């Protein structure tokens, strides 16, 4: 078990520290000044020292200096109300000062720093999910692709002063898409400090709120989110309106089903839509056959076209499109015409895994008649020599 020594003259502070760290699997020792602290270091050989600065008998800087003079390099977290750099700076220079926590402190902040100082070798209590986020889940990544420790991951945040707008959009989105809403700026800012969103939808006409200014601030808090403007249908050129104001895209209200579907496709499906392994591309089956719409095939076609480019760059001479999951349709046919043209340009042979119906479909058009169709992936691989 890891050992932590608290050196602080205030008994109340030592008790608060003890309370803050009680959920960690550590053994806690205490000392009321630097002199006792040095003795305790010898006795318990701590893995970490939480050190106050101003103390009677022997202060923190003196204890640290004497400790380092003995060659002891136990990591130290300074836990103090002292914020002057002329006092803290020399302590940092003494070496192995892992971090600094200002008093009064938040238990969470201290706990996470202690865990980090002990190289995460202590078990920490489970992070409590934020309230009011029934659909939120803990996300693996935060801004800049680094872990956003303990931050809930939510798909959509809608900011509109009229509550009905978010209710309506919620009702039009699939249940699997997690959703938060806010009717004012302050709540929206706080939500964005606490959670990680994939898309943030902002009404351009919230009373007393400069939407451009709000967008600017939210981009700071949500650097990886897509920002979507909510524009009235009466606006002449909503795309231009959204673009000039710095948004990534727009939604018109009242909402149109096809536009909401496109929104879902753009931000919540593309990532899982196509799996690429080696020279094989396999689209995910639409969960609902009705979902295999124009926008679905448009996105799929774009992803597969990009996939062909990547395969050409990786020197693959042939590509297998495994379409066994997709129902044959005119849309599929249209997509394959485009992909066949692209593969010819790149000098890549294209074959398809699909049913007899797919084979018949492709034979109908000159552009796709030459594409070989195999009933299974194994047969396609055997034919291509992969």
Partner 1 sequence: MTASAAASGLNVAGFADKLRELMLAKIAADKLVLPPMPTTASRVMEMLDRGNPDTSRVTSVLESDPVMSLDILRIANSALYSPKVPIDSLNRAVSQIGQRNLRNVLTAAAARRIFNSRNPEVRDIFNKLWEHSVAVAIAARQIAVHAALEDKDVPYMAGLLHDVGKPVVGSHLLELERAVARSRSGRWLDTDTWMQLVDGLHRDVGLAIARKWKLPEAVCQAIEDCVEYDAADRKSSANAVRFANALAKREGVVAGEADIVQVNTVLMIGRSILGLEDEAIASMASAVHEAAAGLEA
Q: Which of residues 295-354 bind partner 1 (CB under 8 A)?
A: none
- Percent helix, strand, coil in the chain, to 5, is 45, 20, 35
Report in angstroms how near the CB of residue 61 gets to partner 1 at its nearest: 13
Tell me the window of 35-43, 78-86, 129-137, 176-184 that interacts with partner 1 (CB under 8 A).
78-86
H or E stretch including 6?
A: strand 2-7
| Residue 99 in contact with partner 1, rule: CB under 8 A | yes
Block residue for tokens 């997509």: 335
Residue 209: CB atoms within 10 A of its CB come to 17
- Contact status: 81 vs partner 1 (CB under 8 A): yes
Q: Which is nearer to partner 1, 163 or 213 (CB)?
A: 213
How far is the C-alpha of 158 from the C-alpha of 167, rounded, in Å? 10
Q: Is 57 in the site for partner 1 (CB under 8 A)?
A: no
Among 101, 273, 324, 383, binds partner 1 (CB under 8 A): 101
Does position 194 interact with partner 1 (CB under 8 A)? The reply is no
Does position 210 interact with partner 1 (CB under 8 A)? The reply is yes
Give the position of tokens 């977290």. Answer: 77
Please report whether residue 140 would count as binding partner 1 according to CB under 8 A: no
Query: What residues form DSSP beta bridges with 197?
Result: 154
Nearest partner of 218 among 229, 207, 208, judged by Cα:
229
61 binds partner 1 (CB under 8 A): no
Q: Are 184 and 168 in contact (CB under 8 A)?
A: no
92 in contact with partner 1 (CB under 8 A): yes
d(CA 105, CA 123): 21
Give the binding-site size for partner 1 (rule: CB under 8 A): 37
Please list, in sequence order, all residues whose beta carbon lies within 8 angstroms of the beta carbon of residue 298, skipping any fewer than 6 positions away. none
Count other C-beta atoms under 10 Å from residue 101's C-beta. Answer: 17
Residue from 186, 254, 246, 168 nearest 212 by CA:
246
Least distance from partner 1 to the Cβ atom of residue 315, Å: 35
Contact flag: residue 10 with partner 1 (CB under 8 A): no
Q: Does 83 engage in binding with partner 1 (CB under 8 A)?
A: yes
Instruction: Determine the 3-state secondary structure of 22 from DSSP.
Output: coil
Q: Which of 45, 163, 213, 294 binds partner 1 (CB under 8 A)?
A: 213
Minimum Å gap between C-beta 149 and partner 1 is: 8
Of 85, 128, 131, 171, the one binding partner 1 (CB under 8 A) is 85
Beta strands in 22-178 (DSSP E): 26-31, 48-51, 76-80, 97-102, 137-138, 152-159
Residues in a beta bridge with 76: 49, 97
Cβ nearer to partner 1, comparing 211 with 295: 211
Applying CB under 8 A, which part among 15-23, 136-144, 263-271, 275-283 lies near partner 1?
136-144
Shortest distance (Å) from residue 56 CB to partner 1: 21
Per CB under 8 A, does 23 bind partner 1? Answer: no
Residue nearer to partner 1 on the CB measure, 110 or 319: 110
For residue 104, say if its preceding peptide bond is cis, omega within 30 degrees of 0: yes
Name the residue among 89, 57, 63 with its Cα closest to residue 6. Answer: 63
* Residue in 136, 148, 157, 280 binding partner 1, rule: CB under 8 A: 148
Nearest to 187 by CA among 148, 152, 214, 147: 214
Is residue 189 part of the contact set for partner 1 (CB under 8 A)? yes
**Residues between 216 and 245 that touch partner 1 (CB under 8 A):** 217, 220-221, 223, 243-245
Contact positions toward partner 1, by CB under 8 A?
81-85, 88-89, 92-93, 97, 99-102, 105-106, 109, 142-144, 146, 148-149, 189-190, 193, 210, 212-213, 217, 220-221, 223, 243-246
């Amino acid at each position: 078990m890891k050992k932590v020594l608290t050196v602080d003259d205030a008994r109340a502070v030592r008790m608060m520290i003890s309370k803050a760290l009680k959920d960690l699997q550590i053994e806690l020792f205490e000392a009321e000044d630097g002199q006792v602290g040095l003795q305790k270091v010898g006795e318990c050989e701590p893995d970490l020292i939480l050190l106050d600065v101003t103390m009677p008998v022997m202060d923190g800087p003196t204890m640290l200096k004497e400790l380092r003079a003995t060659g002891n390099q136990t990591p130290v977290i300074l836990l103090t109300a002292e914020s002057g750099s002329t006092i803290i700076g020399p302590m940092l220079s003494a070496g192995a000062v892992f971090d600094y926590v200002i008093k009064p402190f938040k238990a969470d902040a201290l706990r996470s720093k202690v865990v980090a100082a002990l190289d995460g070798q202590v078990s920490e209590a489970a992070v409590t999910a934020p309230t009011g986020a029934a659909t939120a889940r803990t996300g693996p990544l935060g801004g800049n692709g680094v872990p956003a420790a303990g931050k809930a991951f939510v798909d959509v945040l809608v900011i509109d002063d009229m509550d009905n707008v978010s209710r309506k959009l919620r009702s039009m989105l699939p249940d699997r898409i997690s959703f938060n809403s806010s009717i004012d700026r302050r709540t929206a800012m706080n939500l964005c400090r606490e959670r990680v969103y994939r898309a943030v939808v902002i009404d351009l006409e919230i009373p007393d709120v400069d939407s451009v200014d709000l967008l600017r601030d939210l981009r700071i808090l949500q650097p990886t989110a897509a920002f979507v403007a909510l524009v009235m249908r009466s606006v002449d050129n909503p795309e231009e309106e959204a673009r000039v104001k710095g948004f990534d895209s727009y939604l018109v209200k009242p909402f149109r089903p096809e536009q909401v579907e496109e929104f879902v496709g753009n931000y919540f499906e593309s990532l899982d839509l196509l799996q690429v392994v080696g020279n094989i591309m396999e689209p995910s089956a639409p969960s609902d056959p009705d979902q295999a719409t124009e926008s679905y095939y448009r996105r799929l076609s774009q992803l597969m076209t990009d996939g062909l480019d990547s395969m050409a760059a990786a020197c693959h001479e042939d590509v297998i499109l495994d379409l066994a999951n997709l129902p044959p349709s005119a849309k599929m046919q249209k997509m394959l015409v485009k992909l066949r043209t692209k593969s010819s340009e790149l000098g890549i042979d294209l074959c398809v895994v699909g049913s007899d119906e797919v084979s018949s479909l492709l034979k109908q058009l000159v552009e796709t008649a030459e594409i070989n169709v195999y009933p299974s992936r194994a047969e396609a691989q055997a034919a291509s020599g992969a």
